[in-house]
């Protein structure tokens, strides 16, 4: 799967979304999770962490200290893993600089949440890609509690499972199930080539993008002709 991960990391989030849509997987982008530090691309396998609303009696059932769900999730992280945490609200904090210091030490590939994080200035120095609703000064423990690790979660309206491939760039975060990853790579790479042909054609012969986009018979005809011409040139 390392090869798959490397191939996905070369794609853009929108290329993956387009390819998954062709395969009838339209719900892929985590809503409200934006790059807090633009320019830091991220790709890795999901480690999921679910928070639940705080309730006094839950404290009795929660493991304490290093045995708590969040710290167990941290220990599962490494350079090929992305921590994906579902919050109970967009402004609720899933953690700050002290907690995430451990993720920095583990060289985690990234952090994703539909909630917020604290201590953004300190975390910026960790060089970890972070995708969240926002940063916040609010405390988390009085509002929500870490509950489970590597169970399916709803993060930003999208189902995330342990081991899903998480890709993030400046346009957002997408979730890719491993079972369709090879198909997505093939479709995305072909679409990238077609889009390059279309853009070059529109630069040389300006006309309405609607002639070729969305992709149609004229698009396929143009692409096949350019590919044929390229093959002829290489044989000269």
CATH number at residue 94: 3.50.30.40
Domain total of the chain: 2
CB contact set of 41 (below 8 Å; sequence gap of 6+): 9, 129, 168, 169
Cα(81)–Cα(88) distance, integer angstroms: 23
Task: Give the predicted TM-score (pTM) of the model.
Answer: 0.94
Full residue range of the structural domain in which residue 205 is found = 183-235
Q: CA 187, 189, 191, 192: dihedral to nearest 10 degrees?
A: 160
Task: Report if residue 108 sits inside a domain.
Answer: yes
Q: Hey, how many other C-beta atoms are within 10 angstroms of the C-beta on 106?
A: 18
Same domain, 88 and 191: no
CB atoms within 10 A of CB 69: 21
3-class SS of residue 161: coil
Q: pLDDT in tens for each of the 236 residues of the chain?
A: 889 999 999 999 999 999 999 999 988 999 999 999 999 999 999 999 999 999 999 988 889 899 999 999 999 999 999 999 999 999 999 999 999 999 999 999 999 999 999 999 999 999 999 999 999 998 877 899 999 999 999 999 999 999 999 999 999 999 999 999 999 999 999 999 999 999 999 999 999 999 999 999 999 999 998 888 877 676 65
**Residue 7 belongs to a domain:** no
């Amino acid at each position: 799967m390392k090869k798959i991960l490397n191939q996905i990391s070369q794609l853009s989030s929108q290329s993956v979304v387009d390819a998954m849509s062709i395969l009838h997987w339209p719900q892929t982008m985590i809503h409200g999770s934006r790059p807090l530090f633009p320019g830091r691309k991220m790709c890795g396998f999901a480690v999921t962490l679910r928070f639940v609303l705080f309730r006094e009696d839950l404290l009795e059932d929660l493991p304490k200290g290093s045995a708590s769900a969040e710290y167990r999730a941290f220990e599962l992280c490494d350079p090929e893993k992305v921590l994906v945490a579902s919050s109970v609200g967009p402004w609720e904090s899933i953690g700050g600089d002290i907690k995430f210091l451990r993720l920095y030490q583990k060289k985690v590939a990234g952090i994703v949440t539909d909630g917020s994080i604290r201590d953004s200035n300190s975390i910026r120095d960790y060089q970890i890609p972070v995708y969240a609703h926002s940063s916040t000064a609010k405390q988390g423990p009085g509002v929500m509690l870490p509950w489970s690790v590597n169970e399916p979660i709803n993060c930003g309206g999208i189902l995330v499972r342990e081991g899903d491939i998480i890709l993030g760039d400046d346009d957002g975060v997408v979730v890719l199930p491993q079972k369709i990853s090879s198909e997505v790579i093939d479709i995305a790479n072909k679409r990238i080539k077609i889009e390059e042909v279309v853009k070059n054609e529109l630069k040389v012969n300006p006309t309405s993008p609607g002639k070729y986009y969305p992709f149609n018979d004229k698009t396929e005809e143009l692409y096949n002709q350019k590919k044929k011409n390229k093959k002829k040139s290489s044989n000269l």
